[in-house]
């Protein structure tokens, strides 16, 4: 108890020092001029202007009339890109891997469809600023563990509270597909999964009957209530599956259940591209920068996976790892895919526009267009290139603080080095 009390005192006393102060809401109209604007929904615009007001883009183009009274900033020589999207993340629900009490990723029990990542999101996580400085404006924070883990949520990496930072709740129902290599448990776990969906579907039917006055009263069950959007087609099921049998079985199961499916992981997805295409199932590719999992595979097996999906015409996005601490590496996951054959434009879209489309948030972010959120980044080059620096991030018109924990540490120890040299 003494250790626990000491740790909590240290944790909450240090937190204000590492968490960045959220930027204020945009006030007035802002116009950025002179940059190359990469819309990703069309051609790039040289010497372009982007105007935004109340957090929304109101004009973009090469010859834009700047409204009277707008604050004008000349950013000639810079590039403006849509903000990046981390389509599979644990940002906001885990802080320190070695300290269990700072992790809220896994719930107790195998079936927790009512667990909501947005409700558990911690807006003062130090990982937020680090990821944001890498160009990430939205993280799809996702619970894990068990069979049905709960609901992911698209969270903006700017704001004071989880309510303020939620771009869209319920972006996907997270399911961990059982391991087919464990013959003793595979069938049992599949039966549990089918039973879970059958119970939820029966609850939906009874609920509708009760509301129509054709059925008896029954109590609300938060687990099955949470799954109604899945059956209504409003929420996809995101299935973590890497093995070819897992992917094929998940596709068959989704057709039986008549639900929308997204494959997460997809190590063997290049082996079933026709199956994926014919059923219009997208893939969130994870860990491009990973070693092969089989001894006979070449070292670049994961590096080339996005290229193979692209050539096969499969809809995909690159999600990287779920690690909150390493979310800032997402641009380099896409960069690795580009280095191994994926066209650079496609690699960039895989962590922006395509991720937004797959997760159902492309009406708000993913490209630079009039009417969409003013959530973009200003850089000195392509953000998926290692040498590129992200100079500034705007999220819904808010100008983010770029002095994250990594940069503060760099400045601190640079000063230490300077003092010792002098």
Residue 366 has pLDDT above 70, yes or no: yes
- Please state the rounded mean pLDDT for residues 156-182: 97
pLDDT for the residue 248: 97
Give the model's confidence band at 17: pLDDT under 50 very low, under 70 low, under 90 confident, else very high.
very low
Give the model's confidence band at 8: pLDDT under 50 very low, under 70 low, under 90 confident, else very high.
low
> To which residue do tokens 């007035």 refer?
28
Architecture of domain 84-365: Alpha-Beta Barrel (3.20)
Sign of the alpha-carbon torsion through 57, 36, 30, 154: positive
Give the model's confidence band at 5: pLDDT under 50 very low, under 70 low, under 90 confident, else very high.
low
More confident residue, 360 or 216: 360
Please report, rounded to a whole number, the percentage of residues in the chain having pLDDT higher than 90: 85
Please return the burial class of 412, using the count of CB atoms within 10 Å of its CB with bins 0-12, 13-18 and 19+: exposed
Query: Domain coordinates of the chain in residue numbers?
Result: 18-83+366-422, 84-365
What digits encode the pLDDT tens for the residues 42-68? Answer: 999 999 999 999 999 999 999 999 999
What digits encode the pLDDT tens for the residues 274-293? Answer: 999 999 999 999 999 999 98
Cα–Cα distance, 40 to 165 (Å, whole number): 24
pLDDT for the residue 217: 86
Neighbours of 273 (CB within 10 A): 16
Beta bridge partners of 283: 263, 316
What digits encode the pLDDT tens for the residues 62-111? Answer: 999 999 999 999 999 999 999 999 999 999 999 998 888 888 999 999 99
Cα–Cα distance, 126 to 92 (Å, whole number): 9
User: Would you say 359 and 349 are in contact if contact means Cβ atoms under 8 Å apart?
Assistant: no
**Mapping DSSP to helix (H, G, I), strand (E, B) and coil, where does residue 398 land?**
strand
Residue 177 has pLDDT above 50, yes or no: yes
Give the model's confidence band at 364: pLDDT under 50 very low, under 70 low, under 90 confident, else very high.
very high
Q: What is the CATH number of domain 18-83+366-422?
A: 2.30.40.10
Cα–Cα distance, 6 to 177 (Å, whole number): 40
pLDDT for the residue 98: 85
Beta pairing class for 30-37 and 79-82: parallel
Element (H, E) at 382: none
| CA 127 vs CA 139, 179, 287, 355: distances in Å | 11, 31, 19, 21
Alpha helix positions (H), 80-122: 117-120
Residue 6 has pLDDT above 80, yes or no: no
pLDDT for the residue 252: 97
Residue 15 has pLDDT above 70, yes or no: no
CA end-to-end distance (rounded Å), the chain: 46
Tell me whether the CATH fold assigned to 18-83+366-422 matches the one assigned to 84-365. Answer: no
Backbone angles phi, psi at 208, to 5 degrees: -65, -40
Alpha helix positions (H), 155-182: 162-165
Residue 28 has pLDDT above 70, yes or no: yes
Q: Specify the length of the chain in residues.
A: 422
Cα–Cα distance, 197 to 390 (Å, whole number): 44
């Amino acid at each position: 108890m003494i250790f626990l009390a000491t740790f909590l005192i240290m944790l909450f006393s240090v937190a204000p020092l590492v968490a960045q102060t959220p930027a204020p809401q945009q006030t007035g109209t802002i116009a950025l001029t002179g940059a190359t604007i990469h819309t990703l929904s069309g051609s790039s615009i040289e010497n372009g202007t982007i105007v935004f007001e109340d957090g929304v883009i109101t004009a973009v183009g090469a010859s834009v009339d700047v409204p009277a009274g707008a604050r004008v900033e000349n950013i000639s020589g810079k590039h403006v890109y849509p903000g990046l999207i981390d389509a599979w993340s644990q940002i906001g629900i885990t802080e320190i891997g070695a300290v269990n009490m700072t992790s809220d990723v896994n719930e107790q029990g195998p079936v927790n469809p009512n667990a909501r990542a947005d409700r558990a999101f911690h807006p003062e996580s130090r990982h937020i600023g680090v990821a944001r400085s890498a160009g990430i404006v939205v993280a799809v924070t996702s619970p894990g563990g068990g069979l049905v883990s709960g609901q992911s949520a698209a969270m903006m990496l700017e704001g004071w509270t989880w309510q303020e930072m939620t771009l869209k709740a319920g972006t996907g129902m997270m399911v961990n597909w059982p391991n087919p290599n464990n013959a003793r448990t595979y069938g049992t776990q599949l039966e549990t999964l089918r039973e879970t969906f059958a119970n939820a579907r029966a609850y939906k039917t009874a609920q509708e009957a009760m509301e129509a006055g054709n059925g008896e009263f029954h109590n609300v069950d938060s687990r099955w209530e949470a799954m109604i959007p899945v059956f209504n087609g409003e929420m996809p099921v995101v299935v973590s599956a890497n093995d070819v049998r897992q992917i094929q079985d998940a596709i068959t199961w989704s057709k039986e259940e008549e639900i929308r499916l997204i494959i997460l992981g997809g190590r063997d997805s290049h082996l079933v591209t026709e199956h994926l295409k014919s059923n219009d199932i997208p893939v969130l590719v994870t860990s491009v920068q990973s070693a092969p999992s089989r001894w006979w595979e070449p070292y670049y097996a994961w590096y080339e996976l996005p290229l193979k999906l692209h050539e096969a015409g499969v809809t995909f996005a690159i999600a990287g790892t779920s690690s909150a601490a390493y979310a800032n590496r997402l641009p380099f996951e896409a960069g690795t895919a580009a280095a191994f054959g994926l066209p650079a434009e496609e690699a960039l879209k895989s962590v922006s526009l395509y991720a937004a489309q797959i997760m159902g948030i492309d009406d708000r972010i993913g490209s630079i267009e009039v009417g969409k959120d003013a959530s973009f980044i200003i850089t000195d080059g392509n953000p998926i290139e290692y040498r590129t620096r992200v100079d500034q991030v705007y999220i819904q018109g808010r100008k983010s603080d770029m002095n994250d924990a990594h940069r503060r540490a760099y400045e601190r120890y640079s000063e230490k080095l300077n003092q010792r040299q002098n």
